């Protein structure tokens, strides 16, 4: 069954993902759930983008540069994707954005694709959208124009707003991280350095070398794509009809590169930020249910998390005794109710106590995935001090 990490995450944020909208009305992305109500949405694409930017800003990951990308297709149907030589050299696996989140490359024969080892769901609000909106206009700029030209024409617009808790799930297929399969046909055409080249030969002895040629006669040119120095060739096989399969993996140094990549992913999730419309939103988890599974079927508890109330209420009696002049005593009982502004969550189907969300606690939990134990299954609840959690336990 392999090794899996499953994280059900709750975070707090405000107006995180806008749709195309129309005119001067800026509309939030929304989804209608089973109850017929609309909830605001942060798409998995937006979450992935913010995750990559967060990891880059934390100096955890380096993102691919423009020289490693290409526009495949023709006319107005071109799409941006990794360059073919970036794939053939195995260099593509060095970049977490493609190793963890997959890709599709149409410039090879056959096409190459990678199923994402890290799968992210849309983040959906835990409270319904009530069509709150904010009216805006660039009055400052318009007023300066008025002083110069005597006319003021601001550009008004309305933006929907929704500040609440959101929840999403991340599933990590650990065994598929750090390895990639490349399929390519000898004699097929590829785009290389902005031109069309033919694959004339593929050398598989030792490191991989892909021989390229273009033109004829005196105008014939040759070039080659070499295996990246930072990856290892796990295997190579010549299949039928000139089809070649090459398997690359991250090169192991003094550490486990797969474990290191998983740790970097967890650090980015714990510190997730999103820049949108001049705001820097903190999407770090307030509540996190994390399960690690080795040769066991994995589970998600996303549908077992409920936001109960914005307040936590506590009731108690306070007794006050006062001596009287005749030697007796006067007893007063005051019934008090206190409310804190800590949001309260209820979790069904789990037992035990919650722990604080810290990097150390999360990294300790994944250690069992990287040792020699045959199987493991462990689920823990982590929370931020700003919330309270009521764990109902497993039902019989």
Tens digit of each residue's pLDDT (9 = 90 or more) over 183-214: 999 999 999 988 899 999 999 998 999 999 99
84: left (phi over 0), alpha (psi -120 to 50) or beta: alpha
- CA nearest 117: which of 2, 245, 286? 2
**Integer Cα distance of 205 and 198 in angstroms:** 21
Beta pairing class for 287-294 and 305-309? unpaired
Q: Which DSSP symbol is given to 59?
A: T
Give the tokens for residue 295.
């040769």
**Which two structure tokens, joined as six digits, stand for 261?**
């990549």
Q: Which residues contact 87 (CB under 8 A, 6 or more apart)?
A: 105, 108, 112, 182
What pLDDT shows up at residue 286? 97
Instruction: Print pLDDT tens along the chain (396 aa).
Output: 799 999 999 999 999 999 987 888 999 999 999 999 999 999 999 999 999 999 999 999 999 999 999 998 888 888 999 999 999 999 999 999 999 999 999 999 999 999 999 999 999 999 999 999 989 888 888 888 888 888 878 888 899 999 999 999 999 999 999 999 999 999 999 999 888 999 999 999 989 999 999 988 888 999 999 999 999 999 999 999 999 999 999 998 888 999 999 999 999 999 999 999 999 999 999 999 999 999 999 999 999 999 987 565 677 778 888 888 777 787 777 777 776 678 899 999 998 899 999 999 999 999 988 887 778 899 999 999 999 999 987 543
pLDDT score at 395: 45
Beta carbons of 112 and 84 less than 8 angstroms apart: no
Cα torsion angle, 106, 264, 254, 366, sign: negative
Measured at the CA of 307, the angle between CA 378 and CA 383, to 5 degrees, comes to 40
Two structure tokens written together for 315: 């009731």
User: For residue 58, which of 262, 286, 284, 273 has the smallest C-alpha distance?
Assistant: 273
């Amino acid at each position: 069954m392999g090794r899996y990490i499953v994280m059900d995450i709750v975070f707090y944020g405000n107006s995180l993902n806008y749709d195309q909208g129309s005119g001067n009305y800026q509309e939030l992305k929304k989804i209608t759930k089973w109850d017929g109500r609309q909830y605001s949405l942060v798409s998995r694409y937006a979450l992935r983008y913010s995750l990559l930017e967060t990891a880059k800003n934390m100096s955890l990951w380096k993102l691919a540069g423009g020289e490693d990308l290409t526009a495949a297709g023709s006319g107005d149907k071109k799409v941006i994707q990794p360059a073919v030589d970036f794939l053939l050299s195995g260099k593509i696996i060095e970049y977490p954005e493609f190793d963890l989140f997959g890709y599709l490359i149409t410039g090879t024969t056959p096409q190459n694709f990678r199923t994402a080892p890290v799968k992210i769901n849309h983040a959906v609000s835990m409270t319904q959208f009530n069509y709150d909106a904010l009216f805006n206009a660039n009055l400052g700029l318009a007023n300066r124009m008025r002083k110069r030209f005597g006319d003021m024409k601001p550009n008004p617009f309305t933006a929907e707003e929704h500040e609440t808790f959101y929840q999403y799930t991340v599933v990590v297929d650990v065994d598929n991280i750090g390895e990639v399969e490349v399929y390519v046909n000898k004699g097929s055409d590829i785009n290389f350095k902005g031109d069309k080249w033919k694959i004339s030969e593929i050398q598989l002895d030792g490191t991989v070398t892909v021989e390229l040629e273009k033109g004829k006669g005196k105008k014939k040119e040759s070039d080659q794509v070499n295996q990246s120095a930072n990856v290892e060739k796990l295997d190579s096989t010549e299949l039928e009809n000139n089809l070649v399969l090459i398997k690359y993996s991250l090169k192991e140094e003094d550490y486990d590169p797969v474990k290191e990549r998983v740790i970097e992913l967890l650090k980015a999730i714990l510190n997730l930020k999103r820049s949108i419309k001049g705001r820097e939103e903190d999407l770090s988890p307030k509540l996190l249910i994390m399960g690690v599974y080795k040769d066991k079927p994995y589970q998600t508890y996303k549908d077992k998390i409920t936001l109960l109330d914005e307040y936590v209420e506590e009731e108690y009696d306070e007794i006050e005794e006062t001596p009287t002049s005749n030697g007796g005593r006067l007893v007063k009982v005051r019934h008090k109710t206190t409310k804190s502004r800590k949001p309260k969550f209820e979790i069904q189907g789990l037992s035990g106590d919650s722990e604080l969300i810290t990097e150390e606690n999360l990294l300790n939990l994944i250690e069992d995935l990287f040792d020699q134990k045959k199987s493991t299954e462990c689920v823990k609840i982590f929370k931020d001090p700003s919330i309270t959690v009521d764990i109902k336990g497993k039902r019989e």
